[in-house]
Structure 1
Amino acid sequence: MAYEKEKEIAIAAVQAAATVCEKVRAEMVPEAIEKSDKSPVTVADFGAQAIVCKMIKDAFPNDPIVGEEDADDLKTPEMASRLAQVTNYVKVVLPDATDEQIPGWIDQGNGDVSPRYWTLDPIDGTKGFLRGDQYAVALAMVEDGDIKVGVLGCPALKLGDRSGILFVAIRGGGAMMMNMDGSNPEKISVTSSSDIPNFRFVESVAHGDQDLHARIAQAAGITTDSIRMDSQAKYGAVASGNAVLYLRLPSAKYPNYREKIWDHAAGVLVIEEAGGKVTDMHGKTLDFSKEPRFVDTQGVIVSNGEIHDKVLAALAN
């Protein structure tokens, strides 16, 4: 199948990044919570981006990477101790890493949207990461505006008997979920309205207008209590049939806000290959061919496909 090498490298990169993120969280987060200090997410963000960019560039040197982070702050003398921390964590999976190399690896993620590129969110779900809850390492490869490979690493996600889940999709090849180490792969698909326990809404822990969400869910026929989690793990919940709807709508405070491509690309492909549907709030396909932020689309609607038109109609009223 096409893109097999891309898939293999993406899986390995996300696994390596997640290993470092989990180590950072285990060792630094309890102290950070006590001090209201977000330094662990900084260390994990930088470390994860450095690892993924290094591994992608080694395998595909001509592919630009559009990532969330840059190393400008990390290059200052005041951040020398933080850089050393990042390097030490990166060494867990890349033992030969040095302080001199790390900023350059991170900045390999400052590429442009191109005919073929990768997009990376090294830690999607900062609050969940710091709270000891959900976050995701999200990586996707886009070619001619179409997402071809998507990998979501969700180390804290529990679904059924699984704890720590990797979602993987190739365009035209379906979607899979597996354990974080790659074991026990299983093909996944969205569920239907007849699956009452899972015919539910999955929403963010802190973001969004919950009253509006409740109205839209009701219009779609959803009566089962919603579940809440941070990050693109919500895409995984819908793709695996554990929910049927996720909304990311603009707030009244920021009506012109445009979503970032790295917050959605990997999840979009996993959903679509699992049989679901993703559009903006007006039914337009998300455009990954232009800018790091969606230019002509607003909001994101993720569904099992079956209820998508009902959701769009409710939003239009």
Structure 2
Amino acid sequence: MNHLEIAQTMARLAGELIKSKMGSGFITEDKSSSFDVVTEVDKASELFIRNGILEQFPLHKFLGEEESFLNEKPLEEVLKGAAEEPYLWIVDPIDGTSNYVQGIPGFTVSIALACYGQLQLGVIYDPCADEMFWAEKGMGAFLNGRSIHVSPTNELGRSVVATGFPSNMEARRAVYEGLGRLIEKCRTIRSLGSAARHLAYVASGRLHAFWENGLNAWDIAAGVLIIQEAGGKVTDTKGNAYNLLTTNVVGSNGHLHEPVLHCL
């Protein structure tokens, strides 16, 4: 299998695994705070994806959310080193764990591949909706085999914008501030509980823009490439180009990018 095929296969199989465990009384633990939780299913999903990818590509590097949390090496140091890695897989085994714990549909599996720090492919799978979003650099973006594009909407007043509420309280306060300004300008705001899902929805035209502070590469890397390949734009909240170290992110259909940035 090639890189895209293994990413899609592992995302789908991991999605089936986590969906089968939904509501089964799994163990839930706090990570950095009571706002940030992990389950034994997150860990099992990540190990499953890791083993599947490295079995096919044993010389590749792997960065998973749960492994990174336990790693003594600072994440920033790992991501700076990504610029010298020919192949780095970046994986969130369950994006939207709080949804998952509560039995709310909308969690996703997110898998990206970066080569020398540049995103080459991204796959986001929503097992409850059976929706597979993916993109390869220079090849366009797709949902279940159908080409997707961002919305042509160019009026902020007609837009549906999404955000999330990070576990880090400083980042959460920054989201609140942006929310206070944007809610008066756009049609409505949604929070669906998964950054990857938000980004995929921007790429497919279901949402017009998304912003959130305090994210990490595994939350957004796959979705960033999918938006870009769908004709949209992704930067940090100050308008700087996205890179793997970006934590405060804005993704949009492009037309609304500057108006959203202005509000933030």
TM-score range, shorter chain: 0.7 to 0.9
Quick one: distance in 2 between partners of 1:233 and 1:72?
A: 22
Choose the corresponding residue for 1:267, options 203, 223, 226. Answer: 223
TM-score, scaled relative to structure 1: 0.68
For 1:242 and 1:72, the matched residues in 2 are separated by 32
Q: 1:119 Cα deviation (Å)?
A: 0.7
Shift of 1:149: 0.8
Partner amino acid, structure 1, of 2:234: V
Partner of 1:55: 52
Q: Which residue of 2 aligns with 1:147?
A: 119
Q: Which residue of 2 aligns with 1:27?
A: 24
Check 1:311–1:193 CA distance in 2 against 1; reply closer, same or farther (3 A cut). same
In structure 1, the partner of 2:97 is 126
| Equivalent AA in structure 1 for residue 208 of structure 2 | V
Residues 175, 72 of structure 1: CA spacing in aligned structure 2 closer, same or farther, 3 A cutoff?
closer
Alignment match of 1:192 (pick from 152, 162, 180): 152
Aligned-pair distance for 1:17? 0.7
Q: Is the 8 A contact 1:149 1:266 kept in 2?
A: yes
Would you say the 8 A contact 1:198–1:241 is kept in 2? no
- Contact kept, 8 Å, 2:113 with 2:120, in 1: the verdict is yes
TM-score of the aligned structures, taking structure 2 as reference length: 0.80
Select 1:17's aligned residue among 5, 14, 18: 14
Measured against aligned partners, the alpha-carbon deviations of 1:80-136 in whole angstroms (never above 9, x if no partner) come to: xxxxxxxxxxxxxxxxxxxxxxxxxxxxxx996323211111111111111222211
Alpha-carbon distance in 2 for matches of 1:115, 1:20? 30
Deviation at 1:152, TM superposition (A): 0.6
* Aligned amino acid, residue 145 of structure 1: G
User: d(CA) in 2 for partners of 1:266 and 1:217?
Assistant: 27
Counterpart for residue 257 of structure 2: 308
Q: Tell me if the contact between 1:249 and 1:299 (Cα under 8 Å) persists in the aligned partners.
A: yes
List runs of 5+ in structure 2 lacking aligned partners. Answer: 29-36, 71-77
**1:298 Cα deviation from its structure 2 partner:** 5.1
Q: Deviations over 1:255-313 (max 9, x none)?
A: xxxx321111001011111111110011111222xxxxx2xx45111111111122223
Q: Which of 234, 237, 242 is residue 198 of structure 2 equivalent to?
A: 234
SS at match of 1:137: strand
Counterparts in 2 of 1:298 and 1:7: CA distance versus 1, 3 Å: closer
C-alpha separation between the residues in 2 aligned to 1:72 and 1:241? 33
**3-state DSSP of counterpart to 1:115:** coil
The one-letter code sitting in structure 2 at the alignment partner of 1:130 is V
- Change over 3 Å in CA distance of 1:171–1:25 after alignment to 2: same
**Where does residue 208 of structure 2 map in the other structure?**
244
Q: Letter of the aligned partner of 2:205 in structure 1? A: G
SS of residue in 2 equivalent to 1:241: coil
Larger Rg belongs to: 1
In the alignment, the residues of structure 2 paired with residue 195 and residue 175 of structure 1 have an alpha-carbon distance, to the nearest angstrom, of: 24
SS of the residue aligned with 2:47? Answer: helix
CA distance in 1 between counterparts of 2:210 and 2:123 reads: 19
Q: What are structure 1's unaligned runs of at least 5 residues?
A: 33-39, 74-109, 157-162, 179-184, 251-258, 289-293
> Counterpart of 1:90?
none
**Shift in Å, 1:8:** 0.4
C-alpha change, 1:214 and 1:65, in structure 2 (3 Å) is: same
Are the equivalent residues in 2 in contact too, given 1:147–1:265 (CA < 8 A)?
A: yes
Distance 1:306 1:226, change over 3 A: same
Amino acid at match of 1:138: S
Q: Kindly tell me: are residues 177 and 62 of structure 1, through their superposed partners in 2, closer, same or farther at Cα, counting changes over 3 Å?
A: same
| 1:171 lines up with 2:131 in the alignment | no
Match of 1:204 among 147, 159, 164: 164
Structure-2 separation of matches of 1:243 and 1:302: 10
- Aligned-residue sequence identity (percent) comes to 28
Q: Is the 8 A contact 2:97 2:107 kept in 1?
A: yes
Aligned counterparts of 2:233 and 2:119: Cα–Cα separation in 1:
14
The alpha-carbon distance between structure 1 residues 307 and 197, as it changes in their structure 2 partners (threshold 3 A), is closer
Q: Equivalent residue for 1:213? A: 179
2-side partners of 1:58 and 1:206: how far apart?
Answer: 33
